[in-house]
Amino acid sequence: MPNADHRVDAHADRRIAIPVGERQYHISLGPGELAEYILLPGDPDRTSKIAERFDSIELERRHREFASVTGTYRGQRMSVVSTGIGTDNVEIVVAEILAITEHPTFIRIGSCGALQPDVAAGDLVITSGAVRLEATTSYFVHDGYPAIADYEAVAALVEAAARLGHRAHVGVTATAPGFYGAQGRPIPQLPIRYPDLAEEMARQRVLNFEMEASALLVLAGLAGCRAGVVCAVYAQRTTGDFPSGDVRDRAEAACLETGLESLRILAAMEAQKREAGTDRWRPSLWNGS
């Protein structure tokens, strides 16, 4: 396990869930079956939509809500692993991917609700950092620890959206532990503690609500891996607009395309760093590849 905590003897510590053989318990994947560049959609059905864009496919697998595909996209080996909904699922997926890869790069592609009036339904939101409203990451880090996107991933997502002509916003996301009460949505049959939560987040210039980003950013950062997040806006919380049909389909397609292109850009950045003999990418290394 290249990313494991080597202070722990896995074979002696019964707290660790050891899979039988090398295949991981939840995602049902083993070493070599994933690329080092990985898209993480929430919805398992998005995995097949992404796979349709691949030039070739070497592996397809589904176990529970975790649907996986590995193949090649425009010459770059990539994988897709769906996480399902919520930060608890992200924790499972990231932990098991880290156990069978060397140094993965993650891009989450998802959906969200916009909290600012200038972010329209159908736009994309690229996360620079996330408010940790969930509790999953508190089992790993102090409550004041920030969930920050890797700067290379943010730059690659911004570049990808621009290349593809997709309208995108960059800023802070709020990661909620649920969809209804946890995002301040009223529930007629149930009381909620924070009915003004969306308005409070909006006053703090948070761009959007979603349910996975902070876990990915914290866990990837702790593992020393690059991670970024881009979400399609499916709901405009300030107006109540919740489009469907063509608007939603186009937004989803824009998000998938931006995620794929961002991984190609990140692979190019990695090549530029190797050529320059540095471990940090900077704009002056860009050669248009």
What band does 161 get if pLDDT is binned at 50, 70 and 90?
A: very high
* Residues involved in catalysis: 26, 96, 185, 237
Is residue 19 pLDDT above 80, yes or no? no
Report the distance separating Cα 137 and Cα 217, nearest Å: 10
Which amino acid appears at position 154 of this protein?
V
What pLDDT score does 1 carry?
47
Residue 182's closest CA among 103, 118, 87? 87
Which amino acid appears at position 56 of this protein?
S
Q: What is the mean pLDDT of the chain?
A: 92
Tens digits of residue pLDDT in 272-288: 999 999 999 999 998 75
DSSP string covering 191-224, please?
--S-TTHHHHHHHTT--EEESSHHHHHHHHHHTT
What does the buried/exposed string (b/e) look like for 207-244 if buried means 16 or more CB atoms within 10 Å of the residue's CB?
A: bbbbbbbbbbbbbbbebebbbbbbbbbbbbbbeebebe
Tens digits of residue pLDDT in 78-137: 999 999 999 999 999 999 999 999 999 999 999 999 999 999 999 999 999 999 999 999
Tens digits of residue pLDDT in 200-240: 999 999 999 999 999 999 999 999 999 999 999 999 999 98
What pLDDT score does 7 carry?
41
